[in-house]
Chains A and B, each alone.
Chain A
């Protein structure tokens, strides 16, 4: 390998490294089905604005998905950099929300947040892949 190629690969590797998104505590693919989506509609009852991932709780009153859903999301620091604060979620507390999420691999009432739509139609969505 010539010096020129080595430096080129080093530069490319550094550029790729610099391009990686702020990562969370773990890869979503280890726990969630990355190629599937679920939609959960219920009442937003809790927001945990904590590291390494935020989490919200949605209570679904009836139907096959009835029960308490815990939906994990990107880290608080990521949300902060894109201009979203806990208060942006908290305005939906006690109200009906619709959540699109990656489902958990084990089929439990657990998911990874992609989009939350509030009762007034406003929405937040996280795109965490390059």
Chain B
């Protein structure tokens, strides 16, 4: 007993975890009992304050201006791994924007802050178009814009929201969302408008280029940083292709959507061959209350109503990133041809020729060769509303051959989103344990 007591004291002194739970074996599940153990303990107490920095990066692509937004939480007491400071790069889900990593729909601290308070530098990347540069609050919020009038703002130089002179509304015919890739309401840019030109320029590669520029700017000591990518939901489909342009030290998964290639392989194998023909070129897909209900089916209505009110600060739409994520081959081709035939594309961008140009439209739907140098952790809740265990397994069959190491883990009872403080604590704790285990080394 005295030996155990001393070990406990030293563990407390050094801030080391002492809980009995273990990270699950490959394809294993962390049980409900172990989840309760994590919640009852405090394996990783807060150790740091931090600064939050919001930066804008202007760049030009396909003849149009874009502004990439990056929010960085820098702790004053960094957590080190193998002597390098830990950095987690988060890419937001399909309805949200970077600030959702900082504040949950319960209006409490999000997973980015949980990590920062434990010494992890957290970088929230926002896909271009999703930050409301016209927000009176200055924090990119869409709360003051009616849901039905939201369209992407790709550049901070834009001085007013798009109006119905710029876009038309089309209805899909479905009344209720039953899957993650459909919506009742879509908005398309009208022909010849500035909105159409801006959306034409927003090719899948542009989202990745914005990410790259952001990381090059804010990670000034790459050699001294241990950089892990976390693509939350749609963010995963964006962060996998980023490895070609900015190499991470690993992929830290939670609710991470896979590449377009894996998605299309799964849907076609299940007999759904229509998705790849979905006419989503230049489409803005509204994600309204029905979409939110899809992910909060187990939440009581009053609580859901409060959460929805908070969720309205997010853009609640997807734009041209949808086609790449779902490998909508027709839409990607249409987007490429229309941009090539437009008058906005600079001569330099035509140097690759039409074949190279159209091929590039498909590039971000594939796992890049750079994945072969890193470990991928695909961690999910057993109650995930969209990434069902069978979907995760199917994604693995496509992605694993391209990764250095690929490991699946599950946590019993958790859902897709990290809406609650308990879910953030559990996933954050499990992540830090995976990192310490050397899985990513």
Contacts and interface: CB of A to CB of B under 8 A. Distances in A.
A79 B49 contact: no
A123 B138 contact: yes
Given A83-B51, A123-B53, A125-B52, A8 B9 contact: yes
Contact of A130 (B11, B46, B138, B156): B46
Contact of B75 (A15, A82, A117, A122): A82
B15 interface: yes
B18 to A, nearest CB: 11
Contacts of B5: 3-4, 7-8
B51 A21 contact: no
Interface string A2-39: 01100110111011001101100000000000000000
B56 A21 contact: no
28 contacts: A8-B5, A8-B9, A8-B12, A11-B8, A11-B12, A14-B13, A15-B45, A19-B46, A19-B47, A21-B49, A21-B76, A81-B76, A81-B77, A82-B50, A82-B76, A83-B51, A83-B74, A83-B220, A115-B52, A122-B53, A122-B55, A122-B56, A123-B52, A123-B139, A124-B52, A125-B51, A126-B52, A127-B51
Contact of A12 (B1, B12, B49, B138): B12
A74 to B, nearest CB: 8
A127 B45 contact: no
Contacts of B2: 3-4
A49 interface: no
B117 interface: yes
A84 B54 contact: no
Contacts of B103: none
Nearest to B9: A11
A128 interface: yes
Interface in A106-130: 115, 117, 120-130
Contacts of A121: 54, 56, 133, 138, 156
A127 B133 contact: no
B49 A84 contact: no
A53 B77 CA distance: 19
Contacts of A19: 45-47
B245 interface: no
Nearest to A117: B138
Interface of B: 1-2, 5-6, 8-13, 15, 45-56, 74-77, 113, 117, 133, 138-139, 156, 220
Report whether over half of chain B's contact residues are helix, strand or loop; otherwise say mixed.
mixed
Contact of B9 (A7, A79, A125, A126): A7
Contacts of B8: 8, 11
A45 interface: no
A61 B227 CA distance: 45
Interface string A72-83: 000000110111
Given A8-B9, A11-B8, A121-B156, A84 B51 contact: yes
Nearest to A88: B53
Contacts of A79: 51
Contacts of A8: 5, 8-9, 12
A128 B49 CA distance: 5
Contacts of B45: 15, 19
B66 to A, nearest CB: 15
A122 B69 CA distance: 9
A15 B55 contact: no
Contact of B53 (A7, A10, A124, A129): A124
Nearest to A125: B52
Contact of A129 (B49, B54, B75): B49
Contacts of A83: 51, 53, 74, 220
- Which 3 residue pairs spanning A and B have beta carbons closest together? A11-B9, A82-B51, A11-B12
A8 B18 CA distance: 13
A22 B49 CA distance: 8
A15 B51 contact: no
A10 B156 CA distance: 53
Contacts of B55: 122
A18 B15 CA distance: 9
Contacts of B10: 11
Interface in A67-96: 78-79, 81-84
